[in-house]
Amino acid sequence: MGLFLIAELYRIPVRRHVSRYFSSFDTNHLMLPEYLQGQPGTLTLGYLQEQLADQVEEIWDREDAKRSVTHLRRAG
């Protein structure tokens, strides 16, 4: 459950592997928030690391854009 908690904390889209026939009997599946239930696939550490890295890059890009605007205002 640790990877799912991290994904939920950082709002990373998660694809959970479940059986469409037996999901109603899977207690771990039923404990997940509704938006994590019933989506095909698997959450792996590699996928989670990649998604977190993408979020960090987006933050850096926004910070760089803010610095550029501030720099242009000072120069102008």
Q: Rounded to an integer, what distance in angstroms lies between the CA atom of residue 17 and that of residue 63?
A: 36
Pairwise pLDDT comparison (30 vs 76), residue with the higher score: 30
Segment 12-38, tens digit of pLDDT: 877 655 556 655 566 776 777 776 665
For the chain, what is the mean pLDDT? 76
Q: Which amino acid is at 7?
A: A
Residue with tokens 């771990």: 28
What CA–CA distances, in Å, run from 34 to 6, 7, 9? Answer: 16, 14, 15
- pLDDT at residue 3 is higher than 60: yes
Half-sphere exposure of 74 toward its Cβ, with a 13 Å CA cutoff? Answer: 6
Coil vs helix vs strand at 11:
coil
Q: Which pTM does this prediction carry?
A: 0.55
